Structure 1
Amino acid sequence: MYTKDEFKQRFRAMDTEELILNASRPLTDEAMEATKEILAERGYTGDAAREKTKEVIRAHLQGSGVTRNCDYCGATLHGAVPAQGQKFCSHRCRTQSALAVIALDFAPETIAEHARQLRNGRCPRCQRQGEVVEVRSIRRMVSVVILSVEDRYDLCCCRGCYEKELRSALIVSGLLGWWSFKGLFANIGVVMDGLESLRRRDAPDPSPALIAHASLDLAQKSLAQTPA
């Protein structure tokens, strides 16, 4: 793992926009501290740093690349969903992108508090309360001769619902994931990752994925309350 000073050496070559977009991904504490210090060196601290971050991320969310990729999730397009000069792989990504722009206006403290409320609230799937609600990942592979398909998706639910879905995905991968040359090797990683996820315990604080989900949930609620 790099130290903060090593991250600073790596990040200094980035321009400010690239540095901010890089920091929008999950980073280690050392990498985030390095990013903050470089932004401070460039005159972006406090409110100035927050406003510049919002400006860069908003422009990124509302922009469109020249590649055949979704402007929100980056997936390869197999038929685009257009919207205001942008292109998305699905209506879900188009909606998520619009919500992400709205979410930029919420303070980080407000989003973090909402994430904690979601974490300690009812499970969106089974409506039970008392288990930790989190956003957790699922991987599943199906392969036949020359065709190999790996699904990756996130679930926001309690631990019980997640483990039920994860076991189902492991059964599918265990039975159907091996029957191609690619699957014979790639499915090992899928199955091992699933088994590790079953053993992995949740961290004491909301994950970055839950915080991102909370920001979109706040944006959705804000949109629903806006008069038509």
Structure 2
Amino acid sequence: MSDNRLIEVITTNAQGIQPEVVSIIENEIKKRNLDPDLLNSLIAQNEQHSIEDIYHYAELLRNCPCPICNNTRDKLNGTIYHSIKSIIVMSITETRWIIACPDCLDKQNRKAIVSCSLLGWWGIPWGILKTPVYIYRNLKVKGENRISDPNGPLLSFTADNIGQIKAFENNPEKLKNVIKDLR
């Protein structure tokens, strides 16, 4: 396994790992001369986190520059982008996480609303049924883009990716890449 693949597995897929495997991974990290903080990521994925922990890691993400426009004046938040595109009997849906500044989040939600409004209705039956639901979901999450605290989508993303965030909490460039990789 390459170093990059090992780092990916350790930081994203280590939940439920057996305790005896931890020492094997620790030895492999040392043998390959990788960042020792990777072990913290593995441990973080296998322990319970308080809401205070999740808020702490969410604040680390909020202080990164916007991955879309590189804005550093506004704190980041999250949104979930829902889209549907339909052609007669076929509908294609997409749901994506986005972490960015409030202006960029608003643009992404607006883009999704316009896309759904123009392209979602044309499929039978799913386009007609799902389009209003997706428009509503985009409007609802858009309302959370500018709140002063970490919003629901950002907290959910943080909880789901706490291993990566913890592994790179002292490396702002890699932390920025955790967010950027969503796009």
Same fold (TM over 0.5): yes
CA contact (8 A) 1:111 1:218 kept: no
CA contact (8 A) 1:99 1:216 kept: no
1:125 aligns with 2:68: yes
Q: 1:201 to 1:165 in 2, by over 3 A?
A: closer
One-letter amino acid of the structure 2 residue matched with residue 186 of structure 1: K
CA contact (8 A) 2:66 2:76 kept: yes
1:184 aligns with 2:128: yes
Shift, 1:131, TM fit:
1.5
CA contact (8 A) 1:135 1:156 kept: yes
Higher relative contact order (CA 8 A, sep 6+): 2
**Aligned ranges for residues 27-38 of structure 1 at < 5 Å?**
none
Q: Which residue of 2 aligns with 1:71?
A: none
Q: Which residue of 1 aligns with 2:168?
A: 221
Shift, 1:174, TM fit:
1.2
Q: Which residue of 2 aligns with 1:13?
A: none
Following the alignment from structure 1 to structure 2, what is the Cα–Cα distance between the partners of residues 93 and 169?
Answer: 32
Which string of whole-angstrom CA distances, capped at 9 and with x for unpartnered residues, describes residues 86-129 of structure 1?
xxxxxx99973238965336965555323213213321222211
Following the alignment from structure 1 to structure 2, what is the Cα–Cα distance between the partners of residues 143 and 95?
Answer: 37
Q: Which residue of 1 aligns with 2:143?
A: 199
Shift, 1:135, TM fit:
2.2
Following the alignment from structure 1 to structure 2, what is the Cα–Cα distance between the partners of residues 129 and 106?
Answer: 32
Which consecutive residues of structure 2, in runs of 5 or more, have no partner in the other structure? 1-7, 17-42, 172-183
**Aligned ranges for residues 152-167 of structure 1 at < 5 Å?**
152-167=95-110
Structure with the greater alpha carbon radius of gyration? 1
Q: Which residue of 2 aligns with 1:97?
A: 13
Shift, 1:158, TM fit:
0.9
Matched position secondary structure for 2:14: helix
Q: Which residue of 1 aligns with 2:176?
A: none
TM-score (structure 1 length as normaliser)? 0.47
Matched position secondary structure for 1:98: coil
Q: Which runs of 4+ in 1 moved over 6 A?
A: 92-95
Q: Which residue of 1 aligns with 2:159?
A: 212
One-letter amino acid of the structure 2 residue matched with residue 104 of structure 1: N
Q: 1:216 to 1:156 in 2, by over 3 A?
A: farther
Which consecutive residues of structure 1, in runs of 5 or more, have no partner in the other structure? 1-91
**Aligned ranges for residues 6-17 of structure 1 at < 5 Å?**
none
CA contact (8 A) 1:143 1:149 kept: yes
TM-score (structure 2 length as normaliser)? 0.57
Shift, 1:139, TM fit:
0.3
Following the alignment from structure 1 to structure 2, what is the Cα–Cα distance between the partners of residues 107 and 174?
Answer: 40
One-letter amino acid of the structure 1 residue matched with residue 121 of structure 2: W
State how many pairs are aligned. Answer: 132
